Amino acid sequence: MAPPLLSVEGLQVQFHTRDGIVRAVDGVDYSVGRGETLGIVGESGSGKTVSSLALLRLVPPPARIAAGRVMFEGEDLLAKPERELGAIRGRRIAMVFQNPATSLNPIYSIGSQLGEILRWHEKLDRAAAEARILSLLDLVGITDPATRLRQYPHELSGGMKQRIGIARALLCNPALLLADEPTTALDVTIQAQILDLLADLRQRLGMAMVLVTHDMGVVARMADRITVMYAGRVCETASAATLFSAPRHPYTRALLESMPRIDHRYTGPRQLLPTIAGRPPGLLNPPAGCRFAARCPEAMAECRTTLPVETVVAPGHSVSCIRHGSQGIAA
C-alpha cells in the first residue's frame, strides 16, 4: 500500500493565556491519501480550523504547536526551517480560507495579489503570470477575468471573492488543498456552486483535499472519508458511507440525528429535531475522562475518569469511545 500524502500524528496546539493553557487541539491523528478528500466535521470550537492552520504553522499567537508530526510527502513540516516551509506553502499545499472578505488584502488589486504568488514560487515574468491567472479565473467561473485583475476586493461579491480565493490556491497546482469552511459566508445558491466547483477541480487536477466544515450535508456530498472532532480530539474516522450508515460514537450519531432528512416522515407541524443537550467543555481545564461524557446519554462512570484512545474497530474505521470499542487511559 502506498504511503499517505499527508499524515498527522499526535498534533497538539495550545493557546497560552493569562488564565492558563487552552488545549485547543489535543493529540489529533489523521491521514489523507493522494487524490482523496477527507472531511473534518464538528461543532464550533472543536479544533477543526486550528488543526488545519497548524499543518502550515499558521496558527496565530498566542497559539503554539506543542507536539506532533505533520508528514507530507515523507517530510515533517513541523521540523522544517521557515524558509523551506515557505517554499511549500501555496505551492505544494494551498489553502482556501474561511472568510473571503478578510483573506484578500483590501489595498492591492486582484491581479497584484495573485501575480505575487507566481513570481515568488514559479519565477514567472509579468506576462506569463497574467496569462496563468486569467486561465485560472476562467476555470473557476469568473466572468470577464481581465477586468477582475484591475479590481479590488471591495468591488467583488462574496461568491466572486471566494472563487478568487480558490483560484489563488490553485495557481501552483498544489498536491493538497486545505479548504476551511469555504462556503460559510455565502448564500445557499452560491454554496452549491462553490461545492460543485471544488469537486470538479479536484477530479480534473487530481489533487487531495482536506475539507473543514460543521455541515454534515457538505461532507456527505464531498468527502471520501470523514473525521469527527469534539473538544480538540478525534471521536471517529471512517469512510463516508460507513459513517453515515453505521456510526459508532454517540457524538457522531447525535450529529447525524440533528440533521433534517427528506426520507423521514415528520408527524406534526411543530415537531422539533433532536438536539445535543449542554455545551462543549472548556479547554482550559478539560475533564479527565471522555470530553463528551457530560452530554452523552450512554455515558458510564468509567467514561468520566478514563480518556478513550482511538482504536480500530473495523478496516478503515476507528473510534474513541469506551462503550463502543475503544481502549482508554485512566486519568
What CATH number corresponds to the domain at position 236?
A: 3.40.50.300
Contact between residue 28 and residue 229 where contact means Cβ atoms under 8 Å apart: yes
Give the pLDDT band of residue 102 (cuts 50, 70, 90). Answer: confident
- DSSP states along 193-251: HHHHHHHHHHHHHT-EEEEE-S-HHHHHHH-SEEEEEETTEEEEEEEHHHHHHS--SHH
Average pLDDT over residues 81-110: 92
pLDDT at 327: 61
The identity of residue 272, as a single letter, is L
Is the pLDDT reported for residue 331 higher than 60? no
> Does pTM surpass 0.95?
no
pLDDT at 151: 96
Q: Is residue 1 situated within a structural domain? A: no
Average pLDDT over residues 268-282: 80
Q: Is residue 131 situated within a structural domain? A: no
Q: Note the pLDDT tens digit of each residue in 113-151.
A: 999 999 999 999 999 999 999 999 988 889 999 999 999
Q: Is 264 exposed, middle or buried (0-12, 13-18, 19+ CB in 10 A)?
A: exposed
Q: How far apart are CA 136 and CA 43, in angstroms?
A: 33
Domain count for the chain: 1
Average pLDDT, the chain: 90
Is the pLDDT reported for residue 228 higher than 90? yes
Q: Note the pLDDT tens digit of each residue in 164-223.
A: 999 999 999 999 999 998 887 677 887 888 888 888 888 888 899 999 998 888 899 999
Q: Is residue 19 situated within a structural domain? A: yes
Average pLDDT over residues 90-117: 92
Is the pLDDT reported for residue 326 higher than 80? no
pLDDT at 205: 86
Q: Is residue 244 situated within a structural domain? A: yes
Q: Note the pLDDT tens digit of each residue in 150-175.
A: 999 999 988 899 899 999 999 999 99
Could you list the beta-strand ranges (E) of the chain.
6-17, 20-32, 37-41, 63-72, 75-76, 93-96, 176-180, 208-212, 225-230, 233-239, 306-309, 311-314, 317-319, 327-330
pLDDT at 274: 81
Q: Is residue 109 situated within a structural domain? A: no
Whole domain around residue 39: which residue ranges? 6-92+172-261+274-330
Q: Is residue 56 situated within a structural domain? A: yes
Residue burial 305-315, b: 16+ Cβ < 10 Å; e: rest: ebbbbbeebee
Q: Is residue 123 situated within a structural domain? A: no
Q: Is residue 139 situated within a structural domain? A: no
Q: Are strands 317-319 and 233-239 parallel, antiparallel or unpaired?
A: antiparallel
**Which residue did the predictor score with more confidence, 327 or 213?**
213
Is the pLDDT reported for residue 61 higher than 80? yes
Query: Counting runs of H as helices and runs of E as strands, what totals does the chain give?
Result: 11, 14
